[in-house]
Structure 1
Amino acid sequence: MPPRFSYRLLASTFVLFLSITNVAHSMSKVENYRTTLRVMSTSDVHGQMLNYDYFSGEEVAQQGLVKTATLIAQARAEQPLAILVENGDLIQGSALADYAVAEFPVATKTHPIIQALNHLNYDVANLGNHEFNFGLDYLAATYRDAAFPVLASNLELSAATAAALKSEWLDIAWIERQVKLPQTTQSIPLKIAVIGVAPPQIMQWDQHHLKGKADVLPMVSSTQKRVQRAREQGADVVILAAHTGMPKQTSDPEDSEQTGWLLAGIAGIDAMLLGHQHEVFPGSNVYDQLPDVDSTAGVVRGVATVQPGIYGSHLGIIDLELAYSATSGWQVVGTSSSTRAVTAATPVDTQLAKHLQSAHAATLRFMQQPIGTTEQPLSYKTARWQPSSAVQFVQRAQLWQARQLIAASQLEQLPILSAAAPFDAAFSADETATEIAAGPLTRGAIGDLYRYPNTLDIVQLNGAQIKDWLEMSATAFSQVQENADPQDCWQALNQEFPHYNFDMLLGLDYTIDSTAAVGHRIKDLRFAGKQVAASQLFYVATNNYRANGGGDFPHLDGTNTVIRGADMLADVLLKYIGNLPQGQYTEELENHWQVIGCGGRI
């Protein structure tokens, strides 16, 4: 008798067949699955949360994290598999940031800038050099409530400092995403490692905060170790957030501060995020002389790279095309880099703006605090070609503080000079720059004159070394032909030379000859009417950035510093005004240097 036919068995077999087929089909999809990981980057925001200039009282069309936030939302909507990285110099550089340092109770409340990053769901933040400007205690308190990991991969804290701060700054931040396969219930984990480094020159620039408490190691060797460890620990993707740029206008890639080109040569890095130099890459041609740099595609030595400008002007985007197979896991099979610019038409993220309203209102009150008066207008506008009333205001405040510090020390008595540079000058009479009218002075006006959190240092140098200093400063002028058309004099202004590196030394009389070759431009250098001898000794009051090597000026690497002040120079300016009779600044402009060339003076 033939066996009875079983419909139940047939049905079960059919279901099993479908299950096996579906599994095989799903595995086939896994074997051939591709997706895109979007890496977004901000850097050098410098506390510019709002698109607002606290000094002019006007909106700024192309800056502010409230506008960058709109680009972030748009980029996330286009590609949901994404991470957002902040790459340093976040908490310094704006009036709002100054208010937070001076008055916000950061020890007990969440810093408004960190509130903004939490609101925008940042995945990780790397510390830049300016994060250390206010000391480690303030830094730890600022990032205490961050809802994201904080990177400092080449920072080593002493055991005592680490215990006292109770802060966990990581050398590798791990981010995991579950990548869901379409039309299935399956997902594949994607393990992302982010490494973050910053320039070791922090130990010079902020040694008064860091000496004996921390060390900042070289970026290249620190990154090599972390990348190797990340790969050993199973990273599918390795992203380097490097708060550094690359050497500009040169084919020489060797630089201990701007190490991006060198870092790109480390095996195992899938994407590199740069900063520090405030450039926009891809898009800038300042790196084109370096080998294997594609400034159009955004590739450095084969590594997809971005650098997103300054003040939230751009969002850096790297799209990593990923392929998955069960045998080899995730692989990066393609990349593309781009930056998106904030424009006048970019709408403000209204929700973020609401979060910042309280801090904005407090900053406005902070900036309006009266602190004295000035009989003279204070202007940086023409500081690139003639003595400046605003520069001399800063120089005189530095001299006032330096005399007190030297008097309280055991140092021998020497002549004291004062070095300062403009921060917001112009390259022509048509450009705008910081100008403060005669009359009442507010805290905001002082902040406009001195926007950096530097402290006062005093260096001891001889006449020959001071001449070298001024020769370096004279790089602010390109060489011109003798007796050229006076209209061509403006071409002598070297626009590649930053305003903040054009130091003038009050206390000396001298001439800058723009027709002479580099290194031979400083003429008729005099002190008290007499020629300065090469061996004559002076003290020079300057900022700690310059005294400790900032700008690569000769003889200024910290070894000639004899006194390090503790007060930020903006506070020195405030104290200087407060100690003048009736808080009134009455000094007139001293024309102690001039530029010659083009048949006469510029």
Structure 2
Amino acid sequence: MPDGTRRPSRQIDSSRLTTLHLRILATTDLHMHLGAEDGTGGLARLAPLIAAERARNANVLLFDNGDLLEGTPLADEIARSGLGADDYHPAVAALNRLKYDAVTLGNHDFAHGVGFLRRALRDAAYPITLANAQLTCGTPLWSETLLLHRPLRDEAGRRHELTIGVFGVLPPQTVDWESGLATDMQTEDVVTAARRAVASLMARGADVIVALSHGGQGDGPAPRAENAAGIIAGITGVSAVIAGHTHETLVRPATGTTAPLVKAGFAGSHLAAISLRLRGTPGAWRVEHTRAEALPAAARPCPALADTLKSVPADIADRLTRPIGHTMRALNSHYALLGQDAGLRLIESALRAHVAAVLPENDLPVLTAFAPFRTGGRGGPDNFVSVPAGLLRRRDLSTLYPFTNHIAVIDVTGAEIAEWLERAATIFTQVPDDGRVHPLIDPAMPGFQFDIIAGLDYSIDLSRRAAFDISGRARSQPGRIVALRHTDRALRPEEHFLLVTNSYRMCGGPLYAPLTAGKTCLLPEDARLRVRDVLAQYLDEANAPPPSDAAFFSLIARPGTRASFDTAPTAAPELCPLPVDRAALTETGFQRLILKF
């Protein structure tokens, strides 16, 4: 409930009115970044903020919004090796230690299957809620809704029991993104489930309702929308919304018709905080005022939280350092958004080799589409791939490809390829030649949404307006992609190709959804491996050639145009594929290059 009344009012004796202050804290999209290995975020750097909030406020609740158990090399090795009978999953142990009140699950928490998830959550000391998903067999892992009964103190120090309703939702596409999950779980539309959950909680006496929405803001109505937290904020009865999934930091204050909404970034970069001032009497509370914040992680981590890592068996940590291959050149993503990334070239080679092996009769040209996942942005100046030349170790696989997507292959036309590239080019701003320096990258679009298609030659004209917005809506023609060629000739719209992509692109959206809707993956079921496993198999071959450092595309603009580009502080300006006018560090720790065309 935002400021004002959104619930049928009750007759209240004004002489008995009192005021309660409730502080709601939440983490989201931690992706197993517990703090020991992070420079700017991590749960251990949020722990001091949580402790300070609890010391400063009498009434505090702490939640997690999902995508906790997957995202680092350690997470993958724990899932690969399994947990012993007496082992705690370190992320679960960390949440136990910080005394979380409740959590929901995100799509990536299902990356290693329901069996592993069930084992990892066995030792959770907190309840779990998920309103739009049901397991098809076995004992339930979560409740559709939760009622938390908490003794809270009012401004005068008197105790009152408050009933807090909590529910969580995740993208319904989760069952499509994770191979084999559709047989173990069913999902439904986020908004439909949220409305049912709110009605149930209100009927059972919830004084306030907190929505844990593992999805982006998504204010527009759409069946089975991936991102719908903005719509949930407008449901009568909802008091506060924690959103996530898209790794953004966003604070949206309450209005007369919507509850406050906070997205707390990625990997522990921020702590979501929403304050509710309640006025009323027991059983008849009214939200009188709200405040929403996203608090940046503390500079110094909590040393005690690192003890949770001791629950990881030593042999799991040892396997992370096991050599699996070799690279003759350093692999980094410092200039991936400018079209140059040897690590992506390595992934391209691995994908091509896999497709050639499992589709030997194919006679269509093969193209590969992938995105650079770690390009700074919302993840901060440490959020880049940086693998030195020499031995590649198992932990480097998760660095090069941090998600558990499966390989997919679809039939596409030249016209669809051209549109795919136009949609990807949305990440760049329109850069005029007015003598001023303009930012090159639109911060609203994360790097993992920027698909590069290898096997083509093309340029992106920055002087033109993007053909699509970040929601995938057409807005301008003729677009930015120019000189699009395949094997030294112009790409023909009617020509057919095999495009190698991944399971997320096949079902995710909305930017690329119109191009994958109705498409069928052409790979046999047993060949739809995780991209990381494809890469591991490729590196295991002694004769795998070194990755190329050739650019995937070129950026062009009118002569004299200048643009700013933020990259890693360790990036070498002399290796930039575009001329650099000057370089300097920003207040946030990025190296800002001024590019000249």
Q: Report the TM-score range of the alignment, normalised by the length of the smaller protein.
A: 0.7 to 0.9
Q: Output one character per residue of 1:524-562: Cα deviation in whole Å (capped at 9) or x when no partner.
A: 333333333222221111121122234621412362432
Q: Report the alpha carbon displacement of residue 173 of structure 1 after superposing the two structures with TM.
A: 1.2
Aligned to 1:38: 23
Q: Structure 1 residues 74 and 405, CA, compared in 2 at 3 Å: closer, same or farther?
A: same
Length, aligned pairs only: 531
Q: Identify the match of residue 310 of structure 1 among 266, 269, 274.
A: 266
Corresponding residue for residue 484 of structure 2 = 525
Q: 1:177-230: per-residue Cα shift (whole Å, max 9, x none)? A: 23478999x964322210111122323322x23224322211112111111111
In the alignment, does 2:454 pair up with 1:506?
yes
By how many angstroms is 1:516 displaced? Answer: 4.0
Partner of 2:403: 452
User: Are 1:177 and 2:162 matched, yes or no?
Assistant: no
Q: 1:179 to 1:492 in 2, by over 3 A?
A: closer
Distance change >3 Å, CA 364–CA 66, structure 1 → 2: same
2:366 pairs with one of 404, 416, 419: 416
- The 1:101–1:176 alpha-carbon spacing in structure 2 relative to 1, beyond 3 Å, is same
CA contact (8 A) 1:205 1:550 kept: no
RMSD: 3.1
Instruction: Give runs of aligned pairs for residues 462-481 of structure 1, distance below 5 A.
Output: 462-481=413-432
Distance 1:260 1:568 in 2: 29
Aligned to 2:174: 202
**Alignment correspondent of 1:13:** none
Deviates more, 1:267-276 or 1:433-442: 433-442
Superposed CA offset, 1:236-259 (max 9, x none): 222111112324xxxx74462322
Distance 1:72 1:277 in 2: 23
Residue 295 of structure 2 is aligned to residue 322 of structure 1: no
SS in structure 1 at match of 2:227: coil
Contact kept, 8 Å, 2:421 with 2:481, in 1: the verdict is: yes
Shift of 1:270: 1.7
TM-score in terms of structure 2 length: 0.80
SS at the partner of 1:272? strand
Which segment drifts farther, 144-153 or 134-143?
A: 134-143
1:162 maps to 2:119: no
- Once residues 306 and 385 of structure 1 are traced to their aligned partners in structure 2, the CA distance between those partners, rounded to angstroms, is 31
State the one-letter code of the partner of 1:556. Answer: T
Aligned to 2:326: 373
Residue number among 356, 361, 368 corresponding to 1:403 in the alignment: 356
1:544 corresponds to 2:503: yes
Q: Mean Cα displacement is larger for which, 77-86 or 448-457? A: 77-86
Moved more, 374-383 or 168-177: 374-383
Q: 1:204 to 1:536 in 2, by over 3 A?
A: same
Can you give the 5+ residue segments of structure 2 that lack an aligned partner in the other structure? 1-12, 468-478, 561-577, 579-596
Structure 1 vs Structure 2: percent identity of aligned residues?
A: 29
Instruction: Please say if 1:586 is aligned against 2:546.
Output: yes
Q: Secondary structure at the match of 1:267?
A: coil
Q: Equivalent residue for 1:384? A: 337
Counting only pairs closer than 5 Å after superposition, residues 144-155 of structure 1 correspond to structure 2 as: 144-155=122-133
| Counterpart Cα distance in 2 of 1:237 and 1:591 | 54
1: CA distance, partners of 2:231 / 2:483: 43
Task: Measure, in 2, the Cα distance between the counterparts of 1:64 and 1:492.
Answer: 28
Matches of 1:30 and 1:104, distance apart in 2: 59
1:258-273 aligned at under 5 Å gives the runs 258-273=227-242
**Paired position in structure 2 for 1:74:** 52
Aligned to 2:35: 50
Matches within 5 A, 1:15-34: 31-34=16-19
Superposition deviation, residue 507 in structure 1: 2.0
- Measure the CA separation in 2 of the matches of 1:179 and 1:386: 55
1:439 aligned to which of 356, 380, 390: 390
| Whole-Å separation in 1 of the counterparts to 2:444 and 2:151 | 47
Alignment of 1:131-142 (within 5 A): 131-142=109-120
Measure the CA separation in 1 of the matches of 2:92 and 2:497.
Answer: 44
Equivalent pair of 1:374/1:440 in contact (CA under 8 Å): yes
Distance in 2 (CA, whole Å) between partners of 1:478 and 1:322 is: 44
* Counterpart contact for 2:74–2:395, Cα < 8 Å: no
1:191–1:30 CA distance, 2 compared to 1 (3 A): farther
SS at match of 2:318: helix
Shift of 1:426: 6.5
- Confirm whether residue 234 of structure 1 aligns to residue 205 of structure 2: yes
Preserved contact between residue 264 and residue 300 of structure 1 (Cα < 8 Å): no
Decide whether aligned partners of structure 1 residues 231 and 441 sit closer, same or farther in structure 2, where only a CA change above 3 A counts: same
Counterparts of 2:276 and 2:106 in 1: how far apart (Å)? 25
Does the CA contact (< 8 Å) of 2:74 and 2:320 recur in 1?
A: no
Do 2:367 and 2:455's aligned partners in 1 also have CA atoms closer than 8 Å? yes
Q: Call closer, same or farther: CA 1:74–1:253 in 2, change over 3 Å.
A: same
Distance 1:31 1:455, change over 3 A: same
Amino acid at match of 2:190: M
Q: Secondary structure at the match of 1:174?
A: strand
* Structure 2 CA distance for aligned equivalents of residues 516 and 67 of structure 1: 42
SS state at 1:538 partner: strand
Counterpart code for 1:386: G
| Separation (CA, whole Å) in 2 of partners of 1:350 and 1:516 | 50
Q: Decide whether the 8 Å contact of 1:274 with 1:305 is kept in 2.
A: yes
Q: Following superposition of structure 1 onto structure 2, how do residues 90-129 of structure 1 map, counting pairs within 5 Å?
A: 90-105=68-83, 109-129=87-107
Partner Cα separation in structure 1 for residue 164 and residue 17 of structure 2: 21
How far is 1:373 from its partner? 1.1
1:439 Cα deviation from its structure 2 partner: 2.0
Q: Extract unaligned runs of 5+ from structure 1.
A: 1-27, 54-59, 283-292
**1:493/1:237 CA distance change after superposition, 3 Å:** closer
Contact 2:58 2:152 in 1 (8 A): no
Contact 1:91/1:130 (8 A) holds in 2 = yes
Amino acid at match of 2:486: F
How far apart, CA to CA, are the structure 2 residues paired with 1:422 and 1:300?
Answer: 40
Shift of 1:456: 0.7
Indicate the SS of the match to 2:123.
coil
Return the offset for 1:155. 0.7
Q: Secondary structure at the match of 2:70?
A: coil
Structure 2 CA distance for aligned equivalents of residues 373 and 513 of structure 1 = 37
- Name the amino acid aligned to 1:266: I
Q: TM-score, normalised by structure 1?
A: 0.80
CA contact (8 A) 1:151 1:172 kept: yes
Shift of 1:106: 6.1
1:136 touches 1:209 (CA, 8 Å); kept in 2? no
Correspondence for 2:582: none
Deviates more, 1:351-360 or 1:227-236: 351-360
Contact 1:193-1:235 at 8 Å conserved across structures: yes
